[in-house]
Amino acid sequence: MYVVSEPSLTLEEQRVYSLLMENLYFSLKPLAKMDDPLKYIEQFIWESAEDLGLMEQVQASFQKLKYFIARDAFSYGPLHIPMMDPNVEEISVTSYAVPANVIHRSFTEYDWLETNICFGSEDVLRSYVQGLRSVVVKA
């Protein structure tokens, strides 16, 4: 198995994350060049927390929220870790109900390695693929 370990979000943290992502989606302005995306995210989180009255919740979970917002808004979402792993040669997602699989250079004798990355529902996977496709088209 190729096991991805990420921080977990409580229900309250998931709620705050959803509010912040929604705010990001509706407030993000096109940027010709973003010098430091992490700095932008940090500033955005604090400004949004103040605007949305979520300062206490954000202070308690800032690092986790920053990680997930950066991962989902500016990287590859749930597939971020295997996409950034230089030893992962291929990634396969065949269904929302089946974990993603990877081919890893260090373990080629095992062929496809099952991951613990699942998309949960067809809508989530479809949304992910459509979002990824729009990123690829723009690049």
The structural domains of the chain, with segments of one domain joined by +, span 11-74, 79-138
What is the pLDDT, as a whole number, of residue 33? Answer: 62
Structure tokens, 71:
């991962």
What is the pLDDT, as a whole number, of residue 127? Answer: 84
What is the pLDDT, as a whole number, of residue 136? Answer: 41
Mapping DSSP to helix (H, G, I), strand (E, B) and coil, where does residue 114 land? strand
What is the pLDDT, as a whole number, of residue 135? Answer: 43
pLDDT in tens, 74-83: 888 899 999 9
Residue 97, phi then psi, degrees to nearest 5: -85, -5
pLDDT in tens, 46-96: 999 999 999 999 999 999 999 999 888 888 889 999 999 999 999 999 998
Using pLDDT thresholds of 50, 70 and 90, give the confidence band for residue 134: very low
Among all chains, which residue has been given the structure tokens 């993000």?
Answer: 28
